[in-house]
Amino acid sequence: MTRLKLMFSHASVSAMALVAVFGTVILILHAPSWVWLLVPLGFGAQMLNEYNLHRFIFHLPPPKRQWAFDLLYQAHYGHHDFPTNHGLFFVPPWVALPVLVFNFCLFWAAGTLIGGPVAFDIAVAIVLVGGVLMFLGYEWFHMTSHLNIPKTRVERHVTTLHNQHHFRDFSKWFHVSPGGEVIDRIMNTAIDRDALKAKQRIEFIRTLGMRPDDPRLVAARRRFATKYGLSEHEIARAAVS
């Protein structure tokens, strides 16, 4: 229950859960029964979405302009900077909801172009139900991987791989959801534990290669200290670690 409370205290998780409920109601009341068979496609689509967003957007080179850097810091850089900060565990609503709308419109448009008579229902099944359920699963496993609590076998496996991304090589293991490691292997961003142990740890691992006292990092930490409950001690320590 503690994990559920933590998850649903975040606006994006609550909003996406409501979207999943809304999508389910639409399928029950409006869609033909066979459309339910497309829900699992949403799981795979969201895994690809998770990987691509994490690798190609969240790990963009640090912007030079402070306002742009601040956006990326809230989206992901801050999570690497303070990996145990609960407020930085989750995808911000201003990332999650626009991506959701884009994916929904994309699938709806594709279905319409193909000539499907139930293109809207197909988009609902794949994006609003399957995709969002997978998103909620991602948030659960990601949150759990950063908490020091008893874990299931699957949760321990996810934690082991995700810790490699955070504390050994941030250019590897971009997946988090169970099964997503297949995408890392296909995309050549997987590396086994023995290879990582033999590899020198990337310099400035927690700041994604930036010097920890970079003025952009220092400014972002100060700006968001109140929002994420960062203490003066944490901020000072992050600038030298």
The per-residue pLDDT for range 44-74, each reduced to its tens digit, is: 999 999 999 999 999 999 999 999 999 999 9
Q: State how far the Cα of 117 lies from the Cα of 234, in Å rounded to an integer.
A: 56
If you average pLDDT over residues 106-125, what whole number do you get?
A: 92
Q: Does the pLDDT at position 165 exceed 80?
A: yes
List Cβ neighbours of 35 (8 Å cut-off, separation of 6 or more).
27, 118, 121, 122, 124, 125
In the chain, the percentage of residues whose pLDDT exceeds 90 is 88
129 touches 39 (CB < 8 A): yes
For residue 71, the model assigns a pLDDT of 98
For residue 135, the model assigns a pLDDT of 98
Of the candidates 208, 182, 199, the one whose C-alpha atom is nearest the C-alpha of residue 50 is 182
Please give the model's pTM, rounded to 2 decimal places: 0.94
If you average pLDDT over residues 13-32, what whole number do you get?
A: 97
Confidence of residue 117 (pLDDT cuts 50, 70, 90): confident
User: What DSSP string describes 180-202?
Assistant: THHHHHHTT----HHHHHHSPPP
Three-state secondary structure of 14-50: HHHHHHHHHHHHHHHHHCCHHHHHHHHHHHHHHHHHH
Position of tokens 């139930």?
Answer: 118
